[in-house]
Amino acid sequence: MTGANGSGKTTLIRALAGLITPFSGGSACEGAIGLLDERTALDPDLPLGKALSFWERVDQCSSPDGAITVLGLEPLLDVPVRYLSTGQRKRAGLAALLNRSVPIWLLDEPLSGLDQTAIEQVTALIQLHIGGGGIALIASHQVLEIGGLRTLAIEDFAPSQEAAI
Amino acid sequence: MIGSLLRRDLARFFPFAGGGAALPVVFFVAVAMLYPFAVGPDVTMLARTGGGVVWIAALLAAILPLEKLVAQDIDLGVFDQLKLRGLSEEMMMAVRLLAHWLSFGPPLLLAAFPAAALLALEGETLRLLLMGLAAGTPGLAAIGLMIAALTASLRAGAALSGLLLIPLALPILIFGAGALARQDAASIGFVAAISLLLVAIAPFAAGAAIRAAREA
């Protein structure tokens, strides 16, 4: 999903996640939804390992170490979340999402703040998720190098003047 | 899921543990310590007015944690993520209410013993004070949670929440402190009834408030 700043990408994602009520229309989905946005829901005062383990307990995830290793978070487990950089925090959020193993991913700017290595990692993870039969809706300004992506330009769906009035 | 959430909430709010602040309890004891210095060490007057002071201290101590009770988790996106995992806002708020009460109600009851000693409250008065606080603090926690949720998305939320709490907490204060003045345990029943009503509506009111905060 592409679109200029403020064109409503985040709003659409939050509406699809059921967090806000659309002005008109509705959405229906089968299967659990996982959301990754700029707020990772990790306690800033806790070390990353403890902050992640809360969500592991909530999700009853039996093998959380896989996601932590894949995303290279092991050296950061003792660092309080508030000291993490934007990219590190984003990777931690992605680890929490991986641990949920849900079929539908809603990713809001998953690549912002990531370095080249991390971008490749995240791209590979998304590819793996889709390859396993999962769905991913990705709002991004960067081009993702993933095969089989369909682009949805949000401007094409802008309400017409009459509809807006 | 609810068990893990309660454990997290308690770890965040419980005094002397992790990120929790001991401020409400310290504040409560500090008021009881300072009051005799301010009005003089006359035992009969302290015993007559001390119960009311303890009640006011308990009420004000309940305001102190409000600022971070709900707003912080809205900013972090914790409620959004819990919602995606199928937990209703009402349940999140019910858990938060329990954690909030556990983090200041029982500690205040314990702190009431040294406070009572400092204010020369003994025998029947002390018993009524403890019973009243046990019955009234859940109601204070419920009012606090509702106000914290309602003001979470406002810029001057903290200042407003103090103002909002005062009229809402008045019935509990009147009956709770009134029981001490009249040495009348029946008033405690009123306190308990008001608390019960507030605890029953708080999760729904606070849940609706954090849903509305998302739309804003």
Inter-chain residue contact B19 with A45, CB threshold 8 Å: yes
Mean pLDDT of A116-145: 88
**H or E segment and range at residue B138:** helix B123-150
Mean of the per-residue pLDDT values for chain A? Answer: 87
| Number of Cα atoms under 13 Å in the Cβ half of residue A118 | 19
Q: How far apart are CA B97 and CA B34, in angstroms?
A: 30
Q: Residue B68, class by beta-carbon neighbours within 10 Å (0-12 exposed, 13-18 middle, 19+ buried)? A: middle
Inter-chain residue contact A21 with B215, CB threshold 8 Å: yes
- How far A29 CA sits from the closest chain B CA (Å)? 12
Q: Residue A32, class by beta-carbon neighbours within 10 Å (0-12 exposed, 13-18 middle, 19+ buried)? A: middle
Inter-chain residue contact B77 with A55, CB threshold 8 Å: no
- B84: chain A residues, CB-CB within 8 Å: 17-19, 32-35
Q: How far apart are CA A99 and CA B202, in angstroms?
A: 33
As beta bridge partners, residue A36 has: A107
Inter-chain residue contact A44 with B85, CB threshold 8 Å: no
Mean of the per-residue pLDDT values for chain B? Answer: 88
Residue B46 domain boundaries: 2-215
- How far A64 CA sits from the closest chain B CA (Å)? 16
- B82: chain A residues, CB-CB within 8 Å: 58
**In the predicted model, is pLDDT for residue A164 greater than 80?**
no
Q: What is the pLDDT of residues B93-130, one digit of tens each?
A: 999 999 999 988 898 999 999 999 988 888 888 999 99
Q: What is the pLDDT of residues A87-116, one digit of tens each?
A: 899 999 999 998 888 899 999 988 888 889
Inter-chain residue contact A35 with B82, CB threshold 8 Å: no
- Count of domains observed in chain B: 1
* Residues 6+ positions from B188 with CB-CB distance below 8 Å: B128, B131, B132, B135, B175, B176, B179
Asked if A61 is an interface residue toward chain B (Cβ–Cβ < 8 A), one would say no
User: Which of A35, A42, A59 shows the shortest C-beta gap to B80?
Assistant: A35
Residue B21 pLDDT grade (very low, low, confident, very high; cuts 50, 70, 90): low
- How far A134 CA sits from the closest chain B CA (Å)? 17
Q: How far apart are CA B57 and CA B73, in angstroms?
A: 27
Per residue, the 3-state secondary structure of B97-113, as one string, reads: HHHHHHHHHHHHHHHHH
Inter-chain residue contact B85 with A43, CB threshold 8 Å: no
Residue B19 pLDDT grade (very low, low, confident, very high; cuts 50, 70, 90): very low
- A42: chain B residues, CB-CB within 8 Å: 76
Q: pTM of the full predicted structure?
A: 0.90
Inter-chain residue contact B84 with A17, CB threshold 8 Å: yes
Domains of chain A, start order = 9-164 (3.40.50.300)
Q: Which pLDDT belongs to residue A161?
A: 64
Inter-chain residue contact A41 with B77, CB threshold 8 Å: yes
Rounded to two decimals, the ipTM of the complex is 0.89
Strand, helix or coil for residue B67: helix
